[in-house]
Structure 1
Amino acid sequence: MEEVTGNSCIICGQEKHVGIRIVDEFICDSCEVEMVQTEVQDAKYPFFIHQLKRIWIQNNA
């Protein structure tokens, strides 16, 4: 994990300091862990997919 300051997580929207960067977007460590552990059948799975699609939409606009 990389310590980053002043970043709002694209998943939860909270300001966090530790996480990963994908393209120009930040995902906090707690959201990353939750996404990796989420099963496809889980009700929250489509939410994660939607949020991750935002990364590609924002960077291809």
Structure 2
Amino acid sequence: MHEESLCKCIVCDELKPRDQGIRIVTEFICGSCENEMVQTDVMDEKYPFYVHQMKQIWIHKNA
């Protein structure tokens, strides 16, 4: 697999194939993190972590 076809997920920080996730603005979220995020209840202890990671999209864009 070529290096340029890999993207770093802003949630799990792992390199994943670019076709196995989504792009929001300039950032990448892998499919497994996307699935976990959308299934996470707001009362789950992981929820604030996901909110924080999503905020990074806007921080990087405006930096």
Which residue is equivalent to 1:54?
A: 56
Gaps of 5+ in 1: none
Which residue is equivalent to 2:9?
A: 9
Cα deviation, residue 29, structure 1: 0.1
Counterpart among 1, 25, 28 of residue 26 in structure 1: 28
Cα deviation, residue 30, structure 1: 0.1
Cα deviation, residue 27, structure 1: 0.2
Cα-Cα RMSD:
1.1
Q: Which amino acid aligns with 1:56?
A: W
Structure number with higher strand proportion: 1
Gaps of 5+ in 2: none
- Give 1 or 2 for the bigger CA radius of gyration: 2
TM-score (norm 2): 0.88
Runs (4+) off by over 2 Å: none
Q: How many residues align?
A: 58
Fraction of identical pairs, as percent: 60
